[in-house]
Structure 1
Amino acid sequence: MYNILIVDDEPLICEGLTRLLSTSGINIGHIYNAHSGYEALDYLRMEDIDLLVTDIQMGSMSGIELMQQAKIIKPWVQVIIISAHETFQYAQLAIRFGARDYLIKPLNSEQFLSSVRHVLLHMDKGVRDQEELMSELREHFRMREPQQDRTALLHRLLVAANGERESVLGELRRRFGIELKGPYYAVIKMKLGLAEDGRAVSEKDGRLLQYAALNIASELLDKEWDYESFYDTGHTICIVIQWDEKRYGDTSVDKVNQLEMIGRSLHFNVRKFLGLSCVVGISQILKGGEFLGEVHTQADKAIRWSREFKDHYVFYYGDFKWGTMSEEEPTDDEIAEQNNMIVERSRQYIQQNYAQKGLTLNEVAQKNHVSPNYLSYLFKKNTGCNLWEYVIKLRMEESKRLILNTDLRRYEISEMVGYESPEHFSKIFKKYFGMSPSEMKK
């Protein structure tokens, strides 16, 4: 069953869409309503949301901003945008950031339900039995091996000396129509592991699964990214992503966050649909073709961190501080000290800013010069609770103190601890303490 979050600053629209979905016959578990982006983020952090349906224009946080934050929290959440504006620019931006559909108000009921059904239809829940999966792949997936010459040239490009690179680029252009002009580049590598049920996979089935994983990567990146993907050595898939000056100059989205979203989505989908373990390594973004070898090496080094963190699966090279005078890996003690410092600084920042309405994981991560993905992992590993649970704990304990020791009204307390609406504050409070603010006051 699927959980759907509907977000609109007009309560009547939320209620109408909820009624429509409730009587549609679609396999829905829960339908949540939020009336602002900040309220929606709390649902996304605390509930298992499959589909986000959001208005594009809502007070202090737009639907586009909400979608960006949602993808940081759960990159695999599906999004449908609804808007009163039939503007190509809005629609283009929404689709580029990962929306599955863009619907114009006033909504046509059948069109809306058709869109929801279409999105949910492509969200097959759970991994099937491995034998059943392999049988289906063998029957329906006619494997076309990627051209070996193309693969060899792309690999050669990433390990070539600077003097050889131009000739390899020319050969790729002439023979395969591949244009790698950059000037900005990053590399994502996905190292495939064993079947998660522990079964050995035959060499033939291994090639089929690798091909299926390559197709998952291609479908995920689709037409919105300028990339080349190919088989690398040792059951690894390599993706070279490039940006020209215009695309890279677009500051409306954090490029590293986007790369991490791709990495987390790759890991999620390969495990979900293929039942394979995998580790993803992501390089930094560097400018200039002479750095293609460097970003290739960085992605390999990022994957190597899985030896230190066996319960983590997506690694960004920039999160790990290599030796200042060399490229040697730090010692275990240095890693532990570094990570403890990141978590402690994050705790201090949250303690000072938890009452800020717009506080996000991304903001806390930026203050510590690490990615949101890695900060989330470290915080949970070191403290036993996830970062947003810690924010809610501080907010709730402070609101309890204010309720019991002051005569402040509910709306004043909700404002003081970082909530936009008293109603949303009361929902969180009751979920946390098992009683409403007024019941606690009594």
Structure 2
Amino acid sequence: MPVYTVLIVDDEPLICQGIRSLLADSGLPIRNIVTATSGHEALDHVRMEDVDLIITDIQMPGMSGIELMHQAKMIKPWVQTFVVSAHESFQYAQMAIRLGAKDYLIKPLDHGQFLDRVRDVLLTAEKPKETGLAEGAEAVRERFRMRELKPRQIEALKGLLEGAPQDAESLEALGLDVRGPYFSVIKLQLEIEDRPFAGKEKELLRYGALNIVCELLDGEWRHHAFFSGRDEITVVLQWDLSRDQEASVSPIHQMEMLARSMHHNLRKVLGIGCTLGISQVLTGLRYLPELNEQSRKAIEWNRSHDDHHVFYYGDLQRGPVREDPTEEELRVQNNRIVETAKAYIDEHYAKKGLTLLEVAQQIHVSPNYLSYLFKKYMGCNLWEYVVKLRMEESRRLLLNTDLRRYEIAERVGYESPEHFSKMFKKYFGASPSELKK
């Protein structure tokens, strides 16, 4: 049986310790229990540890539980999350579920119910084998129930995406919800046709892929997902931004997390590779053909970046120019993005609460694409670069000044001396006091 690492996050240390003791005495297959008293400290644990489950409060100073979930999912889309909160808010619960939370429990906890839910989450978090049909067609048939829209519904949606005039009443009569008012499109290009399987097994893979996509969408996402080509799945998403924006996580960031999760799960469960294109968000059905074309163009950029799999159209087509950028224009643009990000980090690395999202917002690019470009051009990921700057500066201060540990921690951007010491020892292999000696 697998063993798991659980991260508990609450700004009340006593609550962290209470939940930790409860889990430690539960008999559940938990190898390691880590606690954090802020979202920023928790993110460093997500970056450093192989965390399987995050149990977090919602309202915390500095970074809310919602923002923590968002940031953690950008780092590791597959991490499981679980909310424990004193706030019985429908809005919080709704956004938590959309960001992938497995449950939303209200304090004070019913211990039995809490442990039952943790047990359920850990069991579903068990990593399936990446078999790619190694278990045979029957195993895939057993795992997935065939699900797809009716042929007339698919034809109507294809017509909308291709610009054919459609009557709203006729669409509703077909059982299609197209109220919007905002729309976006995610397109998946599956890598199935060239796989060494028989035709029947390939069809099972296709339907298995559609089921995984739909399972990730079901619940909070208003969507229609269908095969728009032999190995192409199109997802039409609908948004009510007056509600969705209240939770401070933009639709683009939500779609990127969803797309990365789709990519991860398709590879993990079925062994299928894929490339995903994400459109912008526009108002009204009349823009669906444009959104469809944006998602298709975004996928095409995989030819220039075959080591990347999730593309947002707005990252690659910047500004009102309609012509596709040339390879040279993209190279110059990407260099500018990385140099601008590096300059911002060099100036702000000691800021408490600095995140990938903040850097991405400053230079008007998605976190997913910035993370990819930074690692490709700099040879390390963005947060490794932040930690390097913080650690080198902290060593300089330690060896050349009489500043105390808590003062150095404050100067290089850490919220607590204890967290600073953990990071310092992990980086240098010695504690601050040991290095100073």
Q: TM-score range by the shorter chain?
A: over 0.9
Distance 2:148 2:62 in 1: 49
Between the aligned partners of 2:362 and 2:33, the Cα distance in structure 1 is 35
2:181 counterpart (175, 180, 183): 183
Segment drifting more, 276-285 vs 97-106: 97-106
Q: How many residues align?
A: 434
> Structure 2 regions of 5+ residues with no counterpart?
none
Q: What is the aligned partner in structure 2 of residue 342 from structure 1?
A: 337
Letter in 1 for 2:266: V
Shift of 1:97: 3.5
How far is 1:294 from its partner? 0.2
The question of whether the paired residues in 2 share the 8 Å contact of 1:127 and 1:271 is answered with no
| Contact 1:298 1:317 (C-alpha < 8 Å) held by counterparts | yes
Aligned residue runs from structure 1 range 133-148, under 5 A: 134-139=137-142, 141-144=144-147, 146-148=149-151
Q: Distance in 2 between matches of 1:251 and 1:83?
A: 16
Alignment partner, residue 45 of structure 1: 47
2:123 matched residue in structure 1: 121
**Structure 1's 181 and 23: CA in aligned 2 closer, same or farther, altered over 3 A?**
same
Note the C-alpha offset of 1:226: 1.4
**Aligned to 1:143, what secondary structure does the other structure show?**
coil
Residue 117 of structure 1 deviates from its aligned partner by: 1.0
Deviates more, 1:134-143 or 1:181-190: 134-143
Shift in CA distance, 104/199, structure 1 to aligned 2, threshold 3 Å: same
**Take 2:252 and 2:125, find their aligned partners in 1: how far apart are those partners?**
26
| Letter paired with 2:172 | R
8 Å contact kept, 1:187–1:296: yes
TM-score (norm 2): 0.93
Name the % identity.
Answer: 57
Match of 1:165 in 2: 165
Q: CA deviation at 1:253?
A: 1.9
Tell me the equivalent position of 1:19.
Answer: 21
Q: How does 1:116-265 map to 2 (within 5 A)?
A: 116-129=118-131, 130-132=133-135, 134-139=137-142, 141-144=144-147, 146-160=149-163, 164-167=164-167, 169-174=168-173, 176-194=174-192, 199-244=195-240, 246-247=242-243, 250=246, 252-265=248-261
- SS of the equivalent of 2:180 reads coil
Distance 2:55 2:319 in 1: 46
Question: Residues 310, 423 of structure 1: CA spacing in aligned structure 2 closer, same or farther, 3 A cutoff?
Answer: same
Aligned to 2:264: 268
Q: CA deviation at 1:88?
A: 4.2
Moved more, 338-347 or 83-92: 83-92
**1:182/1:288 contact within 8 Å kept:** yes
Q: Would you say the 8 A contact 1:322–1:329 is kept in 2?
A: no
The range that moved more, 384-393 or 243-252, is: 243-252
Post-superposition offset of 1:46 = 2.2
* Alpha-carbon displacement from aligned partner over 1:236-276 (angstroms, at most 9, x marks no partner): 11000112353355362211100101110110111111110
Q: Residues of 1 paired with 2:236 and 2:27: CA distance?
A: 43
* 1:291 Cα offset (Å): 1.0
**Which amino acid in structure 2 is aligned with residue 155 of structure 1?**
K
Pick aligned residue for 2:380 from 373, 385, 393? 385
Provide the rounded CA distance (Å) in 1 between the counterparts of 2:334 and 2:49.
28
- 8 Å CA contact retained: 2:221, 2:237: yes
Superposed counterparts of 1:92-107, under 5 Å: 92-107=94-109
**Residue equivalent to 1:374:** 369
Give me the TM-score of the superposition, normalised by structure 1: 0.92
Going from structure 1 to structure 2, the CA distance change for 1:340 and 1:294 (only over 3 Å counts) comes to same
- CA change 1:91–1:248 in 2 (3 A) is closer
Matches within 5 A, 1:380-419: 380-419=375-414
Distance 1:298 1:103, change over 3 A: same
Distance 1:42 1:249 in 2: 26
One-letter amino acid matched to 2:224: E
SS of the counterpart of 1:294? helix
Aligned pair 1:277/2:273, yes or no?
yes
1:29 alignment partner, SS class: strand
SS of match in other structure, 2:288: helix
> Which range moves more in the overlay, 371-380 or 82-91?
82-91
Spell out, residue by residue over 1:302-338, the C-alpha distance to the aligned partner (whole angstroms, 9 max, x if none).
110111111111111111036965423412x322222
Report the Cα distance in structure 1 between the residues aligned to 2:244 and 2:89, rounded to whole angstroms: 23
Q: Secondary structure at the match of 2:177?
A: coil
- Counterpart-to-counterpart distance in 1, 2:245 and 2:424: 42
- Once the two structures are TM-superposed, the CA of residue 86 in structure 1 deviates from its matched residue by 3.9
Equivalent AA in structure 1 for residue 203 of structure 2 = R
Opposite residue 264 of structure 2, the aligned amino acid is F
How many Å separate the matches in 1 of 2:247 and 2:58? 19
Q: CA deviation at 1:204?
A: 1.9
Corresponding residue of 1:438: 433
Distance 1:137 1:400, change over 3 A: same
Q: Which has the higher mean CA deviation after the structures are superposed, 270-279 or 43-52?
A: 43-52
Greater CA drift, 321-330 or 230-239 = 321-330
**3-state DSSP of counterpart to 1:122:** helix
Say yes or no: does 1:424 pair with 2:419. yes
d(CA) in 1 for partners of 2:56 and 2:240? 31
